[in-house]
């Protein structure tokens, strides 16, 4: 299974894997690969940045996620979302809370 991986500047350390089951035969025309994502979710992500193309069958394991879980999600829904580690999510939430508090008194 081939996939493309994207990141989103608004969300540190979050990556979205998009299934490319027909690769390389699906490259004849430009497609909106992120179109498989639910509309509300995609809108919340903001602008995307392509990170890499990956052949999962040629990859022994992935750094932060279980390869089998990624494959299952890619086959069933066409995408997989790799969330940031808990410490990164906690830090982001604290920064947002501080920012909101600071903006409250502007």
pLDDT 10s digits, 67-77: 999 999 999 99
Residue listed under structure tokens 């830090």? 91
* pLDDT for the residue numbered 106: 58
Three-class SS of residue 65?
A: coil
Whether 38 shows a pLDDT value over 80: the answer reads: yes
Domain 2-104 has CATH 3.10.510.20: yes
* pLDDT for the residue numbered 88: 67
Token pair in block for residue 66: 């279980």
Average pLDDT, the chain: 85
Whether 81 shows a pLDDT value over 90: the answer reads: yes
């Amino acid at each position: 299974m081939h996939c493309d991986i994207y990141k989103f500047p608004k969300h540190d350390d979050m990556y979205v894997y998009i299934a490319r089951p027909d690769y390389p035969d699906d490259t004849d025309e430009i497609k909106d690969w992120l179109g498989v994502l639910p509309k509300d979710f995609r809108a919340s992500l903001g602008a995307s940045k392509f990170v890499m193309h990956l052949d999962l069958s040629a990859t022994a394991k992935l750094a932060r996620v279980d390869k089998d879980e990624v494959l299952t999600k890619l086959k069933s829904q066409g995408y997989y979302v790799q969330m940031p580690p808990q410490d990164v999510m906690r830090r982001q939430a604290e920064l947002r809370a501080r920012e909101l508090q600071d903006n409250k008194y502007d």
